Homo-oligomer: A and B are copies of this chain.
Amino acid sequence: MKLEKLVGDRFRERPSDCIVDSHALMVRGGYMKYVANGIFSSYMPLKRVTRKIEQIIREEMDAIDGQEVQFPVVMPASLWQESGRYESIGKEMVRFHDRNESPLVLGMTHEEAAVQLVREYGQSYTKYPFMVYQIQTKFRDEARPRAGLICVREFTMKDAYSFHTSQADLEAYYDTCHKAYERIYARVGLPEVLSVASDSGMMGGSISHEFMLLTPIGEDSIAICTECDYRANMEAAECILHNKRDAVSEELTLVHTPNIHTIEEICAFLHCDEQTSCKAVVYQRNADDHYIVLFIRGDLEVNETKLTNHLGYDIHPAMITEESGLHAGYIGPVNLSGDFTVLYDRSLENRNNLSCGANVCEYHYTGLDMRRDVTGAEYHDFAKIQEGGICPHCGKPAITISRGIEVGNIFQLGTKYTKSMNMTYIDSNGETQYPMMGCYGIGVGRLAASICEAHHDDHGPIWPLAVAPWQVHLCAVRADDAAVRVYADTLYEELQSKGLEVIYDDRKLSAGVMFSDADLLGVPFRVIVSPRNIKQNIVEIVSRDKRFSVNVSMDMAANEVLKIVSEAK
């Protein structure tokens, strides 16, 4: 391919609307074009990268007995009504009607379609286990698409679904798939991707893992123990606390606290630590604005994922009205009356000598004793794990918090979908059973962007060879020079005839422009033909990451390039 014919513009300036580097470089390098919020077209270089990623994923899915199939992008609502998700999923699922007013949805995941595809096939235990997967376009109407290809609305995803007759078989295949994922990330050039325990969210099921590329631009927070192998998405990480109780409980005492509204203000006023205060955090149920009042230790934050999972419905931070009966800034667990759901975080269990709101404007209590003053409270884990917190696995105070991009996820779904959609099989004893399911996703475009995040410099992406749009970038500097032209044209043909993927820049431009374009295309090996090199009877071969540079004689150049590329594989 001649670079001169490559459709797409490349430029030097970082676009002002690009927050993350991969987005900026992919726009600057002519990889992608904005079409609408969270919707992009891909130019050829990105399409070549994603096709290579897809092929690596396909090979690894085939290697674990996956069968490539295809589900529809557009599905009837009835399929999602069977599982109950037509109602339970929010606005991120696009719903519309066809010309006959039949309700349809755009696929954002395909558990329902997978069950529909294999429901008749899997009626006997002898057919199990099996796994089907597809690589297809999905649409999820995200509220806040961001960061280029990291968080979009339309995306290409590999999604796989496995079916089993026992939890043990599901777990064994889940591990097999976990290993396949590790191979995929290693092959695409991201061996550093970590798997972390995760929350299963709308997928249902119990055990799930996310594969995370650690990077400050990630939108997930991950708790990692420096003392053992514990790793979890903060959403799913248990918050372990060793609650201390003073030997003597003070009396519950009403204190006048005028103009005090925040936890910092009350602690300063009372000369106490946030750890000895009982804070109220208030939410409302999305459906009817019913209030949920959660009490938690003053220095901790609420993990809303855990709270939502506990409640079983969606919530939002409360707007506290005068009619609610709640007194913002003065809410406490004693004498709180009204139609609220009241919850207690484990951080308060057994604690005494705490401060808290008195449910009267401008008054707080001190000397709160949870055992004595809040009888019958049940305590659950609603707190966010903290930097330096206790590891739920090894028990040491060795938790660190990092940011990460989720580049894949795997779920043990159990019988959630097979039960709701009535998929059954007859087991070896003639009994009717529900099969267990697993599901396994990788977003292709997000993975491409993550590779770029992990492998780039200021000048462009540095694509790993396995996913690079081309393997060799041939630059004919001063192609108007007859010797350069003749030799470079010949070398281009020779390299291609050896099966190498070559992008050939023979434009009559300065070496500076050529090289900055080459940096933006990020091809691993650059081969430079120039009048000066020809005088010395050499060709320069330079790696995109600048770690490698060699001059080879002109007559050996094609063979040397082939050798270098082959060894780099």
With contacts A41-B113, A99-B91, A143-B99 taken as known, whether A73 is within 8 angstroms of B132 at the C-beta atoms is no
Whether the pair B35, A73 counts as a contact (CB closer than 8 A) is: no
Interfacial chain B residues near A73, Cβ < 8 Å: 73, 137, 139, 154
Interfacial chain B residues near A69, Cβ < 8 Å: 7, 41-44, 47
How far in angstroms is the closest Cβ of chain B from A449? 15
CA distance A68 to B79 in the complex (A): 34
Whether the pair A99, B141 counts as a contact (CB closer than 8 A) is: yes
> Chain A 124-150 against B: per-residue CB contact (8 Å), 1 yes, 0 no?
000100101010110101010000000
How far in angstroms is the closest Cβ of chain B from A125? 14
- The B-contacting residues of A in range 74-114, CB under 8 angstroms, are 74-76, 79, 91-92, 94-96, 98-99, 102, 104, 106, 113
Is A33 interfacial (CB 8 A cutoff)? yes
With contacts A73-B154, A76-B36, A99-B143 taken as known, whether A65 is within 8 angstroms of B5 at the C-beta atoms is yes
Whether the pair A98, B104 counts as a contact (CB closer than 8 A) is: no
> Chain A 1-15 against B: per-residue CB contact (8 Å), 1 yes, 0 no?
000011111000000
How far in angstroms is the closest Cβ of chain B from A182? 24
How far in angstroms is the closest Cβ of chain B from A523? 16
Copies in the complex: 2
Is A487 interfacial (CB 8 A cutoff)? no
- The B-contacting residues of A in range 278-312, CB under 8 angstroms, are none
Whether the pair A72, B121 counts as a contact (CB closer than 8 A) is: no
Interfacial chain B residues near A70, Cβ < 8 Å: 41-42, 46-47, 50
From B72, B95, B134, A35 is in contact (CB under 8 Å) with: B72
Whether the pair A104, B67 counts as a contact (CB closer than 8 A) is: no
How far in angstroms is the closest Cβ of chain B from A64? 12
CA distance A483 to B143 in the complex (A): 63
Q: Interface of A with B (CB < 8 Å)?
A: 5-9, 33, 35-37, 39-44, 46-48, 50-51, 65, 67-76, 79, 91-92, 94-96, 98-99, 102, 104, 106, 113, 116-118, 120-121, 127, 130, 132, 134, 136-137, 139, 141, 143, 153-154
Q: A35-B72, A36-B75, A73-B139 are in contact. List 10 more A-B contacts (CB 8 A).
A: A7-B121, A35-B79, A36-B72, A41-B69, A41-B71, A47-B69, A73-B137, A74-B153, A74-B154, A91-B99
Counting from the closest, the 9 A-B pairs by CB-CB distance are A96-B96, A36-B76, A42-B70, A91-B99, A44-B67, A39-B72, A41-B117, A47-B68, A41-B71
